[in-house]
A and B are shown apart, each in its own frame.
Chain A
Amino acid sequence: MRKFVFFGGKGGVGKTTLSSAYGVKCARAGLETLVVSTDPAHSTSDVFDQEFGNDPRSVEGVENLSAMEVDPDSEVERHLMETKRAMSSQVSPAMVNEIDRQIEMAHQTPGAYESALMDRFIEVMQSAEEFDRVVFDTSPTGGTLRLLSLPDLLEGWIDRLAHKREKSIDLYEKAAIGNNEPRRVMDGDPILARLRGRKERFEFAGETLRESSTFFLVVNPDELSLRETRRAADDLESYGLTVGGLAVNRLTPEPEPHEEGRGARFLRDRVATERERLRELRESFDYPVVAEIATRVSEVKGDFLEEVAAELDIDATAERPA
């Protein structure tokens, strides 16, 4: 199994439960494991009954297990402050207001939130040496898939920006006749340096996602969830990412054969439709079904988590470096 494992799927299908359970499973198998929640509606804290923050914190009662919850809002704020600090040391007082307005504006654009999340993603992946396994509990399908398509997109964009910058500097250098100082010089240009730094990070992210990550899609046995899973799987494939399998959650338990009555009949009907869906899942997807988890009466916490972990048929051993 690869180092970075992502759990994705439609909202409310039980991604947090399964990723936490898988985290527990890995930790029990002796791997130093980190569970990262990137869903803005964090519920990792609820599963483990413990508060988590923006940095990894070890989970009480489970050895080798840590968890963290990424908060994009504070990330945007931090980035804003950092940029402003850089500004006050660089920019003359006359221009501060002008540029300040521009910086503020950039941090309120619709993409800021996603960019901040992406930054944090990369940071977590880069600083994950101490962990053998990092489990990402992602936000519902749309958001995460968009996020995962970002590195490629941004790489190209940054490339074009750098190219433009290089071209204008080159022309400035050519336009400087005789002893005139060119207006900009290529050597040590802070803009180019920053653009290149960014690009390297996106390259790292793209490579890590393609080469050291596996995605599991959590599905409920109903039509909507199935369709969304199909779309998500297609998207992931088209980004060149590896789908490891489907984890089916919230299966209805079957009543005892001797039981009759409305409840039992309802359950039997339900089980029959769900069987149909399961068959569809097995036959029409190319991915293995790695878990079939029945609905629990109470919240999945503590001992339940261990039970669910035991039902997950996902390999919990670290990939041997080739």
Chain B
Amino acid sequence: MTLADRIGDYREALAEWLRGFYHGLISHPAYEKIEQEAEDQEDAFMLACFPEAFGIPSPVSYYTAELLPYLEDEFEAWERRMWDRGSLLERKGHQYHF
């Protein structure tokens, strides 16, 4: 194995490691943040659709009820998130990986 090969291997390994490092440090958390923001938006949507789940009467729940059959996944995830969430701070803080 020549020196040039060894340097090449080393650089390749380094590049891969750097790519992974960048992904883990920058891009993955960024996508995670976007996805969490999407979830938050969805939570707001679900809350606006079904406030009676929390005892708040809504003028349109009669109409939004017909959306329910198509919201199975969302509904389940929403309920889980709603019950799991200790506080808004916890949810928002969580994304910073302290």
Contacts and interface: CB of A to CB of B under 8 A. Distances in A.
Given A79-B66, A98-B79, A105-B52, A157 B34 contact: no
A257 interface: no
A210 to B, nearest CB: 21
Interface of B: 27, 31-32, 34-35, 37-39, 41-42, 44-45, 48-50, 52-53, 57-72, 75-76, 79
Given A111-B59, A171-B41, A106 B64 contact: yes
Q: Interface residues of B: mostly helix, strand, loop or mixed? A: helix
B52 A111 contact: no
B63 A109 contact: no
A317 to B, nearest CB: 37
A4 B95 CA distance: 57
B41 A191 contact: no
Please name the 10 residue pairs, one residue from A and one from B, whose CB atoms are nearest each other, closest first.
A171-B38, A106-B65, A168-B41, A115-B62, A175-B35, A87-B69, A175-B34, A164-B45, A86-B69, A106-B61
B58 A90 contact: no
Contacts of B41: 164, 167-168, 171
B66 to A, nearest CB: 5
Residue among A98, A168, A177 having the largest count of chain B Cβ atoms under 10 Å = A168
Main secondary structure of the interface of A (DSSP, over half): helix
Nearest to B62: A115
A93 to B, nearest CB: 11
A95 B63 contact: no
A183 B74 CA distance: 10
Given A160-B48, A175-B31, A102 B63 contact: no
Nearest to B66: A83
Contacts of B79: 98
Contact of B60 (A83, A111, A175, A190): A111
B69 A171 contact: no
Contact of A102 (B45, B53, B70): B53
A174 interface: yes
A115 to B, nearest CB: 4
Contacts of A92: 72
A163 to B, nearest CB: 9
Nearest to B75: A99
Interface residues of A, number: 48
A102 B66 contact: no
Nearest to B38: A171
B31 A177 contact: yes
Contacts of B70: 86, 90, 190-191, 194
A208 to B, nearest CB: 19
Interface in A41-83: 76, 79, 82-83
B27 A111 contact: no
B57 A109 contact: yes
A168 B34 CA distance: 10
B48 A103 contact: no
B27 A177 contact: yes
Given A111-B57, A157-B59, A102 B37 contact: no
Nearest to A92: B72
A83 B49 contact: no
B38 A103 contact: no
Contacts of B57: 109-111
Contacts of B69: 83, 86-87, 89-91, 99
